[in-house]
Structure 1
Amino acid sequence: MLWIVLALLLFIIQIAFVIIIEYQRPGKAVVWLIVLFILPVIGFLLYLFVAKEYLCPPALSRTDKGRWDGLKDDLRTRSRQRVLKDLHGKFIVQDDNLYALLKNIPVAPITACNETTVFVEGEQAFEAMLDAIAASKHHIHVEFYIIRDDQLGIRFEQLLIQKAQEGVKVRFLYDGIGSRQLGKAYLKRLRNAGVETECFFPLLTSFFHKRLNYRNHRKIVVVDGNIGFFGGLNIGDEYLGNDPKFGYWRDTHFSIKGDAVLWVQYTFLSDWHLVTGQVITDPVYYPIQDSRGNELVQIVKSGPDETILELIFSLVVSAKKRIFIETPYFIPDPGVLLALKTAITRGVDVRMIIPAVPDKNLVYCATLSYVQELLQAGGRVYGYRKGFIHSKLIISDDLALSGSANMDIRSFCNQFEINAVFFDGKVVDRLLQDFYRDLEVSEEILQSDFEQRSMLQKMQNVFARLLSPLF
């Protein structure tokens, strides 16, 4: 009898611990309480190692902090001077409150003189990356969530080795969980050739340091500080459409020239510093840009310590005409979901494209439960049928936000992401055209589809919805 009392007391202590720690996040608290009921001891251990709030890295030394702050101030000054010249006579944002938010994002300002190229397929994007790397003279910075040792991965490996042997400085950063299958032989070949390789939060150390939940989801290539690439593509054959399950892979990726490259570079070197402790502020990595473009672009660096959630919320509430969304996963924050439903009530055209065939069944079940709410409010949702859609895009009237962040809680709060706000009509129009083309190969999901679900499917959606704050 005593052991029952002790077990009950221990269980009550675990519940109290979760409630005290998570009282400001009731949704997350409820999910972890469910996990505790299902797995009384294991669930608590998972909570301790997975749910801990992100701790910022140790403070920099006075010297390093001065160098870092000086770099940021210099980049901001350079960017703002060219923006003020380029902004003359232009009205770039549909809402004053949204413009105030964008103007005051603490890390990266709006930049001018940019030229953007949009890629919707992996082959085009990867060839552009490889061509830029082949032409490099000084340095190459590569950072991806997933890097595979397959045909595409080997092409990158061989070219990086070649450039390192030519004397180009090559830095290579990969995520410890996303690239957990990347073999030691692959990394050894890079290191032996002189490529500096680093792992962002390795699997084992992340577990014991309670950082398992905080992944680097960015996809970045910067060459000579003059051209940058970012977006949704990782390095792997499936992103070329060679996965037998999904076939065609639809994504959105960008190459960019101009002042925005400085902030893509800054994002990479911030991550490099977090992993290695190196503070790299040499001006050679931040050259004066000679781009003759006239596009305004804002690079938005986000993570567990600088969320993108406020920006997404503002894009939704400021929209007057349309909100078009493409995302492989739709697990919105309650505030974003309410803002979307309110926008529909205001008469805004809200449409969203998601995959018709999921890659993660549990996440897809949760996605459908949120989709049902949007449909009930009057929104329109489509399932992409041509293959798998991995594109991450929000078009709010005449602005667009795109990059690596999905429309889910992980991207909002837990993952390190890089996105860009595009102000230029040519870029936004191109993204609009891509969206309309995707609609042509998508099938609209109707409210009646949900009414015809079996009881088992409904229960799956309910269960997945309950766990969705953990996704």
Structure 2
Amino acid sequence: MGWSKVEYLETGDSYYAALLKEFAGAKKSVLMECYIFQMDSVGRALLEALSECQGRGLRVFLRLDGIGSRPDLSEIAAFCHERHVELEVFHPLPFAPLGTYHSVGFAKADSFLNRLRLMNRRSHRKIAIVDETIGFTGGRNVDEVQSEKVVGKEAWHDLSLRLEGDGVQELLQAFLFRPVHKKQFKDCLVNYSSKLRRDRNNWLAKQMKDAKKRLWITTPYFAPTPRMLLELRKAAKDGVDIRLILTKKIDVLVSQLAARGLYRQLIRWGIKVYEYQPSLLHRKMWVIDDLGIVGSANFNHRSLVHDLEIDVILRDPAVVSEAMRLSLEDQNASRAISLEDMAKVNFVKRFLSWIAGWFSYWL
């Protein structure tokens, strides 16, 4: 069981190139799911590749989120309809026309009221599966902001994985929303049912509680639940080396304000807090002792309480060692935040962080 091969794709360009290569060599099927899919140069190249797969008689299936991909959804839907690429939209907005795609999600019927009721639950997952033997996941969307070829050094700092092994079948089960009744997660962390969400959070809390040496968390959006904050505090009290690598540059200001409102108490607990400097850090990665976790989930309420996420569990020592190396590189490119820094924060920023904290449940 597990992953027979794990390849870290550190740049957006390497990730998109790997997708295009696997799509070109696919023999049976290509399945893809994404939160944000932009109809830019990156998105068009991938859509053309999916269209070519469809033309070769492969099963091709694309699922996008109804809010994350909303800006270009009409154009994407028109392209897929013309090229006969099957498109599903997860929880479309209430007023969005059904158009030429299928509505999918947790509503028993596609209606205005059901769309309104489920509007807060998004699919934040990033998955690609080729021939049911090769999988991709991580934090990257389909967007030029992830490409150094397009935006240069301002490209978002993210991470994707190319995966082979028995674990791809678990990734496939998650993609297809098939029922899972096991509490013990083997290769993937999933949360596409209330039970799985509860089990996932319990599993994560237990890993934090059982940590003995290190708990290194890389996430751009930090607004954990009270339970997870308590686990952080307990681990710090037990002497675990806890490091939080967050981001200086941000696209959701209220999220950063809420996170910075927690810095003072985190540092007082003995937790090291860093802010990545070169570009917007969008990477989601954990190293817990000798265990690694990489995927789409942030350490915030949205990922813990609301949205659908997918993460893979890494246990091979060499693979986890590589995750540690990447984490240390990110720390070296970050600025450590101190209590002296927090003392310099003016009243207005502290007040805004306090206000943002009240909205943490939605962040």
Give the TM-score taking structure 2 as reference length: 0.89
**Equivalences for residues 258-273 of structure 1 within 5 A:** 258-270=165-177
Shift of 1:159: 0.9
Are 1:179 and 2:69 an aligned pair? yes
Are 1:118 and 2:8 an aligned pair? yes
**Aligned counterpart for 1:298 among listed residues 155, 163, 187:** 187
Shift of 1:195: 0.9
**Aligned counterpart for 2:143 among listed residues 215, 236, 239:** 236
1:415 maps to which residue?
Answer: 307
**Aligned counterpart for 2:293 among listed residues 395, 401, 411:** 401
2:155 maps to which residue?
Answer: 248
**Aligned counterpart for 2:281 among listed residues 377, 389, 394:** 389
1:69 maps to which residue?
Answer: none
2:99 maps to which residue?
Answer: none
**Equivalences for residues 229-378 of structure 1 within 5 A:** 229-241=136-148, 247-270=154-177, 298-303=187-192, 305=194, 306-307=196-197, 308-378=200-270
1:229–1:342: structure 2 CA closer, same or farther, 3 Å change rule?
same
Which amino acid is the alignment partner of residue 87 of structure 2?
T
3-state DSSP class of the match of 2:70? coil
Shift of 1:246: 7.9
**Aligned counterpart for 1:215 among listed residues 122, 125, 132:** 122
Contact between 2:13 and 2:149, CA under 8 Å: does it hold in 1?
no
Contact between 2:33 and 2:63, CA under 8 Å: does it hold in 1?
yes
Q: Of Structure 1 and Structure 2, which has the larger fraction of its residues in helix?
A: 1
1:439–1:132: structure 2 CA closer, same or farther, 3 Å change rule?
same
Which amino acid is the alignment partner of residue 227 of structure 1?
I
Q: Work out the percentage of aligned pairs sharing the same amino acid.
A: 29
**Aligned counterpart for 1:447 among listed residues 339, 344, 347:** 339
Q: Which whole-Å CA distance do the structure 1 matches of 2:191 and 2:294 have between them?
A: 13
Q: Which whole-Å CA distance do the structure 1 matches of 2:149 and 2:259 have between them?
A: 26
1:298–1:465: structure 2 CA closer, same or farther, 3 Å change rule?
same
1:3 maps to which residue?
Answer: none
Shift of 1:395: 0.8
Shift of 1:372: 2.1
3-state DSSP class of the match of 2:278? coil
1:387–1:345: structure 2 CA closer, same or farther, 3 Å change rule?
same
Q: Which whole-Å CA distance do the structure 2 matches of 1:224 and 1:369 have between them?
A: 46
Shift of 1:242: 6.8
Q: Which whole-Å CA distance do the structure 2 matches of 1:347 and 1:149 have between them?
A: 48
Which amino acid is the alignment partner of residue 89 of structure 2?
C
Q: Which whole-Å CA distance do the structure 1 matches of 2:22 and 2:218 have between them?
A: 28
3-state DSSP class of the match of 1:203? coil
Shift of 1:304: 5.4
Q: Which whole-Å CA distance do the structure 2 matches of 1:421 and 1:183 have between them?
A: 32
Q: Which whole-Å CA distance do the structure 2 matches of 1:136 and 1:343 have between them?
A: 45
Task: Provide the aligned length of Structure 1 versus Structure 2.
Answer: 338
Q: Which whole-Å CA distance do the structure 2 matches of 1:144 and 1:113 have between them?
A: 22
Which amino acid is the alignment partner of residue 125 of structure 1?
Y
Q: Which whole-Å CA distance do the structure 1 matches of 2:137 and 2:305 have between them?
A: 20
Contact between 1:260 and 1:298, CA under 8 Å: does it hold in 2?
yes
- The unaligned stretches of length 5 or more in structure 2 are 96-110, 180-184
Contact between 1:330 and 1:370, CA under 8 Å: does it hold in 2?
no
Root mean square deviation of aligned Cα: 1.9
Contact between 1:220 and 1:229, CA under 8 Å: does it hold in 2?
yes
Q: Which whole-Å CA distance do the structure 2 matches of 1:189 and 1:252 have between them?
A: 28
Shift of 1:241: 4.0
Shift of 1:253: 1.0
Q: Which whole-Å CA distance do the structure 2 matches of 1:470 and 1:382 have between them?
A: 24
1:143 maps to which residue?
Answer: 33
3-state DSSP class of the match of 2:174? helix
Q: Bigger shift: 262-271 or 388-397? A: 262-271
**Equivalences for residues 5-20 of structure 1 within 5 A:** none
3-state DSSP class of the match of 1:171? strand
Contact between 2:148 and 2:154, CA under 8 Å: does it hold in 1?
yes
Q: Which whole-Å CA distance do the structure 1 matches of 2:202 and 2:153 have between them?
A: 33
Contact between 1:214 and 1:304, CA under 8 Å: does it hold in 2?
no
2:107 maps to which residue?
Answer: none
Shift of 1:243: 7.8
Q: Which whole-Å CA distance do the structure 2 matches of 1:346 and 1:314 have between them?
A: 14
2:359 maps to which residue?
Answer: 467
Contact between 2:3 and 2:163, CA under 8 Å: does it hold in 1?
no
Q: Bigger shift: 141-150 or 234-243? A: 234-243
- The unaligned stretches of length 5 or more in structure 1 are 1-110, 274-295
Contact between 2:177 and 2:192, CA under 8 Å: does it hold in 1?
no
Q: Which whole-Å CA distance do the structure 1 matches of 2:75 and 2:69 have between them?
A: 14
1:407–1:367: structure 2 CA closer, same or farther, 3 Å change rule?
same
3-state DSSP class of the match of 1:416? coil
**Equivalences for residues 124-135 of structure 1 within 5 A:** 124-135=14-25
**Aligned counterpart for 1:194 among listed residues 51, 67, 84:** 84
Shift of 1:222: 0.5
Contact between 2:273 and 2:336, CA under 8 Å: does it hold in 1?
yes
Cα deviation digits, residues 173-198 of structure 1 (max 9, x gap): 10000000124233222222221111
Q: Which whole-Å CA distance do the structure 1 matches of 2:36 and 2:113 have between them?
A: 22
3-state DSSP class of the match of 2:220? coil
3-state DSSP class of the match of 1:178? coil
Q: Which whole-Å CA distance do the structure 2 matches of 1:159 and 1:300 have between them?
A: 29
Q: Which whole-Å CA distance do the structure 2 matches of 1:113 and 1:230 have between them?
A: 13
Shift of 1:338: 1.2
Which amino acid is the alignment partner of residue 424 of structure 1?
D
Contact between 2:147 and 2:155, CA under 8 Å: does it hold in 1?
yes
